[in-house]
């Protein structure tokens, strides 16, 4: 089985999807001969031509508006927003058009073939305009699916599933893992299910929930916890909309404790939605308050990036406080 980093796995998934279906089209800022700012679309224009992999003007609202039109006419567009920080100019197109197209037309029209790829998150010293994690804004919008892979294997399987899904999908890619995360990835075509969490590790004392790049951080915290004699169950949600409530509930019913972590600021972050749901379904089984370990309620800083990010030490501290409660 070949070894790939996350960028190579994404490129491989796009290659497979374009080879299988001539309706799959990739476009965005610099995705053509340049291969995208991170090179996720390298060689696709050379292989499939300028009609199926091409550059767009620097206008995110136009990219998604164009993608909506293509998808409504039967194409399978894979639109790239160069950084998730710049997805906001396209917010209206995504939440008012992409998400509602099928509903408002009574299913006469839909843009279910649309996938929006975008790199998110900190850890690359990108400052406040190249480091944000805006996933929670979109989880508030029925009609979308939100997917976040944690490694190359997931990135390929989830992206292929997203491209072929009947609903529009926003595919958030943890850019600090683009080249840092390397692993075995099958050469053949495969898909991973959207909306199903992955139990990475079983444990008995506490449940840890995260997604994307935070799963690597959780892993380091678990090492510290296990040295302290604490057994952790680790769940990667993989999809935030829909999210796998039952898997998290089942775990918390067993452990009685829950720590949720994400890079986005605490207020309004998706951890709040998870905590509320678990409180509703598991209240009488909780041994301690549900803890959130998140980014800070500030603009993403440049020089204080390490202080802002929810690292393994902050998560370990939350684990210990929860177990000692």
Nearest to 5 by CA among 167, 178, 144: 178
Question: How far, in whole angstroms, is CA 80 from its chain's centroid?
Answer: 14
List CB contacts of 80: < 8 A, sequence separation 6 or more.
26, 27, 28, 29, 31, 36, 40, 41, 63, 116, 117, 118
Bond prior to 131 in cis (omega within 30° of 0): no
**Catalytic residue flag (residue 60):** yes
Catalytic residue among 60, 97, 135, 273: 60
Strands (DSSP E) found in the chain: 3-5, 24-28, 53-55, 76-80, 115-120, 145-147, 169-174, 182-184, 198-201, 206-210, 232-236, 239-241, 258-265, 291-295
**Catalytic residue flag (residue 140):** no
Alpha-carbon gap, residue 218 to 197, rounded angstroms: 15
Catalytic residue among 29, 80, 97, 130: 130
Which residues does the annotation mark as catalytic?
60, 130
């Amino acid at each position: 089985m070949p070894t790939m980093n996350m960028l190579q796995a994404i490129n491989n998934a796009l290659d497979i999807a374009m080879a299988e279906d001539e309706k799959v089209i990739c476009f965005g800022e610099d995705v053509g001969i340049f291969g995208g700012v991170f090179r996720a679309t390298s060689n696709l224009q050379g292989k499939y031509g300028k009609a199926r992999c091409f550059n767009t003007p620097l206008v995110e609202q136009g990219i998604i508006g164009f993608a909506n039109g293509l998808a409504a006419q039967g194409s399978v567009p894979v639109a790239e927003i160069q950084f998730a920080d710049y997805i906001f100019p396209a917010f209206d197109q995504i939440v008012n058009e992409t998400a509602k197209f099928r509903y408002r037309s009574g299913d006469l029209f839909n843009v279910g073939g649309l996938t929006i790829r975008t790199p998110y998150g900190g850890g690359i010293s990108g400052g406040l305009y190249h480091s944000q994690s805006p996933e929670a804004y979109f989880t508030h919008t029925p009609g979308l699916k939100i997917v976040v892979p944690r490694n190359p294997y997931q990135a390929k399987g989830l992206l292929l599933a997203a491209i072929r899904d009947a609903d529009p999908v926003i595919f958030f890619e943890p850019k600090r893992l683009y080249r840092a995360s390397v692993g075995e990835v099958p050469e053949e075509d495969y898909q991973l299910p959207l909306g199903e969490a992955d139990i990475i590790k079983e444990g008995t004392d506490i449940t840890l929930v995260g997604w994307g790049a935070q799963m690597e951080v959780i892993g380091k915290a678990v090492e510290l916890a296990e040295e302290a004699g604490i057994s952790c169950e680790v769940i990667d949600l993989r999809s935030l909309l829909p999210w796998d409530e039952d898997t998290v509930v089942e775990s918390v019913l067993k452990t009685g404790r829950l720590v949720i972590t994400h890079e986005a600021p605490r207020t309004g972050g998706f951890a709040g939605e998870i905590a509320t749901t678990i409180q509703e379904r598991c209240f009488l089984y909780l041994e301690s308050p549900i803890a959130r370990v998140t980014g800070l309620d500030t603009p993403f800083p440049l020089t204080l990036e390490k202080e802002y990010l929810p690292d393994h030490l902050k998560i370990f501290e939350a684990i210990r406080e929860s177990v000692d409660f």
